[in-house]
Amino acid sequence: MSQPYDLVVIGGGPGGYEAAIRGAQLGMKVACIEKRVHKGKPSLGGTCLNVGCIPSKALLDSSHRFEATQHDLAAHGISTGAVSIDIATMLSRKDKVVDQLTGGIAQLLKGNGVDWLQGTGKLLANKVVEFTPLDGSASQQLQAQNVILASGSVPINIPVAKVDEDRIVDSTGALEFAEVPKRLGVIGAGVIGLELGSVWRRLGSQVTVFEALDDFLPMLDKALAKESQKTLKKQGLDIQLGAKVSASQISDTGVTVTYTQGGAEKTAEFDRLIVCVGRKPYTEALLAEDAGIALTERGFVQVNDQCLTSVPGVYAIGDLVRGPMLAHKAMEEGVMAVERIHGQAVQVNYDTIIGVIYTHPEIAWVGLSEETAAAKGHEVKTGQFGFAVNGRALASGEAAGFVKFVADAKTDRLLGMHVIGPNAGDIVHQGMIALEFVSSVEDLQLMTFAHPTLSEVVHEAALSVDGRAIHAIQRKRK
Ligand code: FAD
Ligand code: NAD
Taking phi over 0 as left and psi of -120 to 50 as alpha, with beta for the rest, 397 belongs to left
Residue 168, classed as helix, strand or coil, is strand
pLDDT at position 1: 59
Cα radius of gyration rounded to whole Å, the chain: 24
Helix, strand, coil proportions of the chain in percent (round to 5)? 35, 25, 40
C-beta 393 within 6 A of ligand 1: no
Query: What distance in Å separates the CA atoms of residue 465 and residue 284, rounded to the nearest whole number?
Result: 50
pLDDT for 477 equals: 57
319 pocket-lining for ligand 1 (C-beta < 6 Å): yes
**Annotated domain spans of the chain:** 5-155+280-348, 168-277, 352-464
Ligand 2 within 6 A of CB of 326: yes
Active site residues: 451
- Which percentage of the chain shows pLDDT scores above 70? 99
3-state secondary structure of 162: coil
| Cα-to-centroid distance, 178 and ligand 1 (Å) | 24
Phi and psi at residue 130, in whole multiples of 5°? -90, 125
Q: Could you count the other beta carbons within 10 Å of the beta carbon of residue 315? A: 28
The pLDDT of 244-267, averaged and rounded, is 97
Are 12 and 105 in contact by the 8 Å Cβ rule? The answer is yes
Res 416 pLDDT > 70 = yes
Cis peptide bond prior to 452, omega within 30° of 0:
yes
Band the pLDDT of 474: cuts 50, 70, 90: confident
For 371-400, what is each residue's pLDDT tens digit?
A: 999 999 999 999 999 999 999 999 999 999
Instruction: Report yes or no: 379 and 408 within 8 Å, Cβ to Cβ.
Output: yes
Q: What is the pTM of this model?
A: 0.97
273 lines ligand 2 (CB under 6 A): no
CA-closest residue to ligand 1 atom 11: 36
Question: Across all residues in the chain, what is the average pLDDT?
Answer: 97
Distance 155 CA to ligand 2 centre (A): 9
d(CA 220, CA 337): 29
Contact assessment for residue 17 and residue 44, using Cβ atoms and an 8 Å cutoff: yes
Length of the chain: 478
Strands 37-38 and 206-210: unpaired
Angle at 232 between CA 63 and CA 397, to 5 degrees: 65
The residue-averaged pLDDT of 289-299 equals: 97
CB 25 within 8 A of CB 61: no
Query: Peptide bond preceding 361: is omega within 30 degrees of 0, i.e. cis?
Result: yes
At 197, the amino acid letter reads G
Least confident of 59-63, 347-351, 382-386, 474-478: 474-478
Query: Measuring from atom 47 of ligand 1, which residue has the nearest CA?
Result: 48
CATH C-level class of 168-277: alpha beta
Same fold, 5-155+280-348 and 168-277: yes
Please identify, in words, the CATH class of the domain defined by 5-155+280-348: alpha beta
Q: Atom 26 (ligand 2): residue with closest C-alpha?
A: 278
Give the number of other CB atoms < 10 A from CB of residue 383: 24
Best CA proximity match to 330, nearest among 36, 124, 48, 33: 48
Say how many Å lie between the CA of residue 187 and the centre of ligand 2: 9
CB neighbours of residue 129 within 10 Å? 24
Atom 31 in ligand 2: residue holding the nearest Cα: 325
Q: Can you give the pLDDT at residue 3?
A: 72
- pLDDT for 110-143, tens place per residue? 999 999 999 999 999 999 999 999 999 999 999 9
Decide: 15 in ligand 1 pocket, CB within 6 A.
yes
- Beta bridge partners, 440, equal 413
Nearest to 382 by CA among 395, 393, 373: 373
- CATH code, 352-464: 3.30.390.30
User: DSSP letters of 158-201?
Assistant: BTTB---SSSEE-TTGGG--SS--SEEEEE--SHHHHHHHHHHH
Residue 302 dihedral angles phi and psi, to the nearest 5°: -75, 125
- Cβ(398)–Cβ(387) under 8 Å? yes
Task: State yes or no: pLDDT of 357 exceeds 70.
Answer: yes
Q: What is the distance between the alpha carbons of residues 125 and 438, in angstroms, rounded to a whole number?
A: 43
Read off the pLDDT of each residue in 312-339 and give the average, rounded to a whole number. 98
Q: What is the pLDDT of residues 431-451, one digit of tens each?
A: 999 999 999 999 999 999 999
Query: Which residues contact residue 6 at a Cβ distance below 8 angstroms, ignoring those fewer than 6 apart?
Result: 23, 28, 29, 30, 144, 145, 146
pLDDT band, residue 170 (cuts 50/70/90): very high
Res 475 pLDDT > 80:
no
Please report which residue ranges of 315-469 form alpha helices under DSSP H: 327-341, 370-375, 391-395, 424-436, 441-445, 456-464
Ligand 1 midpoint to CA 463 (Å): 40
> What is the whole-number distance in angstroms between the Cα of residue 150 and the centre of ligand 1?
9
- Write the DSSP symbol of residue 30: E
Rounded Cα gap, residues 388 and 391, in angstroms: 8
